[in-house]
């Protein structure tokens, strides 16, 4: 036992490493409490043993062998077709892309302490959560075009998506008039049901969107996951919701 005024002993890094590798989802606060030191001290020692915190990767569902084979073949074909089109036409500045994301207020599968070269752990998405809100984001190479939050617990429908398409075309006409009037915007979105409904297809044709091909079972090819939502996940780690609000965080 330490006497009053006597500094506490440093954390045993071997013991810390064993504890973290036994349960890599522990928070710095939990580890600090276990070793009776500050979270700052724990972070220093975690860096010493080469551990970094990586957000776990949600999986919509597990693919069977047939689905995996289809995904590989179609993904390769799609990527080659897009690359060839860009080589011939230079399409990157014409692309507008979008995606939706659930923000869970009670997220128990958030991050793990891993070695720098390790891949993030995979967690199946939960079907039911007591409180969540969905955010939609539209952006292009020029920046964010539009974003919106749905009311708590609501999911996006074909009707809502069609309304957003009209909003996006109006904003593009103001922000990038040359794109709308001359080249025509290219839309990159995934195969979610609101995106492929007949109502949506008809609306896209009315607005003059050219749809880029997106292979099935390929959420990891959605650009928004890497260029927007990953940063959003990092920002939301450890945040708490303000009372009576669904879109403000401490």
Q: Does residue 36 come out as left (phi exceeding 0), alpha (psi in the -120 to 50 range) or beta?
A: left
Residue 222 neighbours by CB under 8 Å, 6+ apart: 97, 99, 188, 189, 190, 214
**In contact, 212 and 186? CB cutoff 8 Å:** yes
Distances in whole angstroms, Cα of residue 164 to Cα of each of 94, 97, 102, 204: 18, 12, 17, 11
pLDDT digits (tens, 9 = 90+) for 7-29: 445 788 888 888 888 888 788 88
Rounded percentage of the chain residues whose pLDDT exceeds 70: 78
Give domain limits for the chain.
Answer: 63-107+125-236
Of residues 65 and 131, more confidently modeled:
65
Q: What is the pLDDT of residues 171-228, one digit of tens each?
A: 998 988 888 887 788 999 888 889 989 999 999 999 988 898 887 766 666 778 777 8
DSSP letter (8 states) at residue 241? B
pLDDT bin (cut points 50, 70, 90) of residue 5 is: very low
DSSP 58: E
- Mean pLDDT, the chain, as a whole number? 79
pLDDT in tens, 54-88: 766 655 556 778 877 877 888 888 888 888 988 99
DSSP-assigned beta bridge partners for residue 95: 186
Residue range 63-107+125-236 in CATH 3.30.559.10: no
Nearest to 98 by CA among 164, 44, 28: 164
CB atoms within 10 A of CB 46: 20
Taking Cα atoms as reference points, which of 190, 161, 56, 165 lies closest to residue 111?
Answer: 56
> Is 50 exceeded by the pLDDT of residue 243?
no
Which spans in the chain are helix H?
A: 13-22, 28-35, 39-48, 65-89, 158-175, 177-178, 193-196, 198-207, 223-224, 230-236
Contact indicator for 122, 56 with CB cutoff of 8 Å? yes
Give strand pairing partners of 137.
Answer: 99, 147
């Amino acid at each position: 036992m330490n006497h009053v005024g006597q500094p506490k002993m440093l954390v045993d890094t071997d013991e810390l490493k064993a504890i973290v590798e036994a349960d890599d989802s522990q928070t710095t606060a939990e580890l600090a409490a276990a070793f009776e030191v500050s979270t700052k001290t724990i972070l220093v020692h975690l860096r010493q043993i080469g551990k970094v915190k990586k957000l776990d990767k949600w999986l919509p569902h597990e693919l069977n062998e047939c689905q995996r084979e289809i995904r590989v073949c179609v993904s390769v074909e799609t990527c080659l077709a897009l690359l060839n089109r860009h080589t011939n036409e230079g399409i990157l500045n014409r692309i507008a892309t979008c995606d939706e994301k659930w923000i869970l207020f009670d997220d128990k599968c958030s991050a793990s302490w891993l070695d720098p070269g390790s891949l993030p752990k995979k967690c199946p998405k939960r079907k039911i959560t007591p409180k969540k809100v969905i955010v939609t984001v539209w952006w292009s190479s020029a920046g964010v075009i539009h974003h919106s939050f749905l009311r708590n617990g609501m999911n996006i429908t074909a009707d809502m998506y069609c309304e957003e398409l009209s909003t996006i075309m109006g904003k593009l006409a103001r922000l990038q008039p040359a794109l709308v009037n001359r080249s025509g915007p290219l839309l990159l979105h995934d195969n979610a049901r609101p995106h492929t409904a007949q109502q949506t297809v008809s609306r896209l044709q009315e607005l003059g969107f050219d749809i880029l091909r997106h292979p099935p079972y390929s959420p990891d090819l959605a650009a928004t996951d890497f260029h927007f939502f990953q940063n959003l996940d990092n920002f939301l780690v450890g945040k708490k919701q303000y009372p009576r609000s669904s879109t403000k965080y401490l």
